[in-house]
């Protein structure tokens, strides 16, 4: 029995609509969606670079990421429902930065021990119920360089929680957190800054944004995610361009 038919009575209406959506294009094409926070967006994330490193003749790359989103607000604000229209074949789901309990995050934060993993599990379950294949992506590392050249890891709990969900539910996992941290420590802080966006501090001075990227950074980290996707899900490897795309 089709999984959508089996779960029809329990599925939200937007998932029922996704089940009815026709498959994406030709048999040699695929639709891939980014679902996450600002570090996936086209404005300050790796979204542009990721899509540029895919065979666009055969890949419909859709970006549903939203700045400031957590696993709680992404659903609450209706973004999760929107991510199913048009229905993707694959979803790269990446959250964590805004789930951290912090005075600046307010209602976006989630409890690491309970709510965060539960939200991830629900995303996976509902994606699968709609015929979408999820890939979990650990949150990208921030450029919190220390004096010894190493990066202070401020998200170890969220990374481990996502890994546990992926293992328990047999979901492909891209450990972008580790990949990005290793890469940044290899190139060092001065080169890392060249990939960063900038922002204004409290005094109005322009400073490095240690979380987000400029266009060059989008292409570097976008390539990183595309290559990791191909390694993690071999059936998607031939959709990744053989050579890294260059930022314009």
CB 63 within 8 A of CB 225: no
**Is 9 within the bounds of a domain?**
no
What is the Cα–Cα distance from 61 to 153, expressed in whole angstroms? Answer: 30
**Is 132 within the bounds of a domain?**
yes
CB 208 within 8 A of CB 15: no
Q: Residue 183 belongs to a domain with what CATH number?
A: 3.40.50.1110
**Is 20 within the bounds of a domain?**
no
What is the Cα–Cα distance from 18 to 226, expressed in whole angstroms? Answer: 25
**Is 188 within the bounds of a domain?**
yes
Instruction: Report how many domains make up the chain.
Output: 1
Residue span of the structural domain in which 189 resides: 25-239
**Is 90 within the bounds of a domain?**
yes
**Is 13 within the bounds of a domain?**
no
**Is 232 within the bounds of a domain?**
yes
Residue 195's SS3 state is coil
**Is 149 within the bounds of a domain?**
yes
Digitized pLDDT (tens) for each residue of the chain, 248 residues in all = 444 444 444 555 445 444 444 444 445 899 999 999 999 999 999 999 999 999 999 999 999 999 999 999 999 999 999 999 999 999 999 999 999 976 565 688 899 999 999 999 999 999 999 999 999 999 999 999 999 999 999 999 999 999 999 999 999 999 999 999 999 999 999 999 999 998 888 778 888 899 999 999 999 999 999 999 999 999 999 999 999 999 98
């Amino acid at each position: 029995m089709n999984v959508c038919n089996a779960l029809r009575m329990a599925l939200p209406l937007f998932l029922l609509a996704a089940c009815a959506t026709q498959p994406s294009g030709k048999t040699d094409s695929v639709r891939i969606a980014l679902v996450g926070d600002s570090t996936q967006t086209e404005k300050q994330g790796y979204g542009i670079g990721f899509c540029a490193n895919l065979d666009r003749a055969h890949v419909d790359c859709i970006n549903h990421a939203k700045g400031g989103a957590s696993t709680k607000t992404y659903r609450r604000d209706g973004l999760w429902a929107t991510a199913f229209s048009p229905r993707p074949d694959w979803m790269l789901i990446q959250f964590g930065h805004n789930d951290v309990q912090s005075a600046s995050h307010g209602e976006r934060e989630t409890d690491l021990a309970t709510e965060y993993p539960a939200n991830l599990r629900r995303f996976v379950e509902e994606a699968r119920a709609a015929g979408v294949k999820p890939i979990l992506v650990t949150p990208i590392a921030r450029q919190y360089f220390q004096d010894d050249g190493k990066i202070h890891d401020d998200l170890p709990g969220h990374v481990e929680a996502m890994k546990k969900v992926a293992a328990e539910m047999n979901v492909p996992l891209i450990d972008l957190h580790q990949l990005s941290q290793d890469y940044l420590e290899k190139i060092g802080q001065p080169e890392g800054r060249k990939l960063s966006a900038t922002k204004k501090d409290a005094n109005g001075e322009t400073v490095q944004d240690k979380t987000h990227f400029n266009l060059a950074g989008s292409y570097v980290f976008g390539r990183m995610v595309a290559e990791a996707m191909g390694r993690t899900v071999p059936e998607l490897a031939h959709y990744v361009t053989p050579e890294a795309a260059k930022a314009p």
